Structure 1
Amino acid sequence: MEKIFINLARRSPFYMYLLLNMSVQPSVEAEKMHVSFRNGRFTVVYNPRWVERKSEQFIEAFLLHQLMHLINLHFLIRPKNDRDRAVWDLAMDAAINQHIPELAAFGVPLNLLVEEGHGVDNENLFVLPPDWMPDRSAEEYHAWILEEMEKLGRFDVLIVARSRENSLDSHEKLYTQDSVDMVLELSQSLLSKAFNLYGKELPSGVRRMVELSIFKPFLNWRDTLRRFAGVSEHGERYLTPLKPNRRYADQPGWKTESAARLGLIVDTSGSIVQEELDAFFTEIEALSRYVDTSLVLVQVDRAVNLKVNYTKGMWRNMQIVGGGETDLQPAVDYLEHNYRPEGLIVFTDGYADLPKVKRRVLFVLSKYHNDEFLLQARETYGRSSVVVLEW
């Protein structure tokens, strides 16, 4: 293992810094190798008998794979059930393995696994993303898998997921039982220190992963979201093979499409500078970690320019459209009419007329905001309806 650590240091001192701040624990009870959180610190747990049977190059790549789970904060993911967990396992590996050449050599593209509906007879099954979807987050691959399953009308991908889980890489130890907030704080602290010292030497794809993980939002979204508490409105009810029928096992089940709970409006007018956009999307990214419902995001200057269903990590490929004058009302009307959100969160500098909002609203203003807008918003919607980002 000492040789493995030295080899990873040659790749980048960033990885060595992470490992030097972890404990290392050999255990014959461990199935293979994993990184876990124990006694207030991260620990590399490995089975020495298993390590001895593998080449140094392979163990080095596999340890890097485990570090990548930490770098991507995958322990924050909370699957809804066993089926969802199986899909998440595939999605997480697809996001990671594309950045590790040694594992990519054993890889099978995610689209082939989903389309063919079965795994391969190979202990070393490592999932890769579809060729046309490189450098995406686990959340994006998860959404893609569900869409493909819906199109194919089957659950066969679960067979693939279980085959992967029973092969070399199991994620059983990934889902921590400790306080998520505590593990997140320690993870971001460790990653930030390593990145400040050695981040420039990382490959561009890995560097973006780390940047995404160490962003520290100004707002405490866990507390902020309490003002938007409520029950989602229900939408259309339809049959889907993705939900089993409780009465007839061979029939599809009913699913109710819920309306979006939160609508996000991002001001992309000409008065918004890049520093403000970066601050807005840092908050949006943090918000996406604390909700398990749909986030519909629209960009607006004097008209609605772009609409997306926002998921964690989407900021890295987000196209910014706008640059004109500012009118927030079209975005408010669009979301309220088409999505019936329980609340709207508006990211702006406030150099616009105050929009008329029928639902709960929170205005998130940049530090370069318009004081007149702030005062008017508080008078109209209440003092708690406005927060200012002081980065």
Structure 2
Amino acid sequence: MKKKQKKEENVFQRIAEHWFLSEPVLFATYCSHHLKPNSSIACTMRTGKGCIEYNPELTNLLTEQAIEENLKVEMIRILLKHPYDRQPKDCSAMACTLGSDCTLSSYYDNWKYVNLAKPSDFQLPEKEYFEWYAINIDKLIKKEGTSSEGNSSSNGQEASEREEASEGKNLTKGDTTTEEKNDSVMTKTYDYAKAKAEQSALWEEDELMQISINTIIENAKNWGTIPGNLVEQIIASTKARIDYRKVISGFRASCISMRRTLTRMRPNRRTGFQNMGSIYRYKTNLLVAVDVSGSVTSKTLAHFYSVINRFFHYGIENIDVMQFDCAAGEVKNIKKASHKIEIFGRGGTDFQCVIDYAQQAKCYDGVIIMTDGYAPPPVLPPHFRPHLLWICENEDSYKQHHEWMEKLGRACTINL
């Protein structure tokens, strides 16, 4: 066993030496992690928690070229920060791995020895982002139920067959073991569903690793053989994603207004208890305007109201909520999270009615507008006091409208 492990370590050492000369980015990424054998895992290789783990029994059955390509795929996952960033909430480990596979194969699918799952295996479009694939594949897996245990989902059966065929194709030709022994080892150790689930078992949010990987990307001058499409995605991943929770929290802090009240319970700073002292109470008066026009789906509205319910976690005691389309609807004061919401409107969109209402009310410190952004920009009246925050329904909406939105206030997006 020790000889086998030593042999595998020599293979990884030769790959690293080759990368040092020809693949500087992959070499730097490889050096940022610890190599560790782990015979208990069902997958050939996996990364996470600062480690590169490999199964000596499985890697021993592969050619050196196949091991190098498997390692290259894992290094690209790290560069895209799939093991360390943007982990989809409540997604199964298998869905996360398949989502990562689909992201990689969307931009490059000319691997010789590694067969990654493709979006077409799940009847999904190409060139979407990692979390989107993971969430949608997870829904398919849950929908299929027990029938998806062996092949990820009915749509993912082709991916399973391709992966198993690939593993068989890459057996080391010069190995002294018999074909029957190879077959028994592969049967015993390789289970597609289990392998895919264990491949992302070490993945978790890690800000320090994100910073370390971003440093490697920012210092890269030669990308070697990494395909151009993937290089663009890797560079784009260094741009900080907007977390609407942080934006809302910061927006609330910027909208705090101070109310002074007099009290006999505190001494006056100048005259002591001869005169009443002052208490300063901090309060945020917010108006949240929800776009209920026909272009906003019911699913999006459900997410909008889910975000509104989160506001109470930021110390906000009550919120005025308005539904609007081409006209402003009734304003309702909400003092706790609501689970049943009636939607009115579903016509066109006009942001000006929200601005005009806030200006006439003269009691708001901040206005939050939740929308898909498809309407002419409003005109702010002179001396418009409330701070403005635009929350877009998705990244496409944000990219299309954020320039004019940020001229009027702040803007962020939520991922549905």
TM-score, normalised with respect to structure 1 = 0.48
Larger of the two Rg values belongs to structure: 2
TM-score, normalised with respect to structure 2 = 0.46
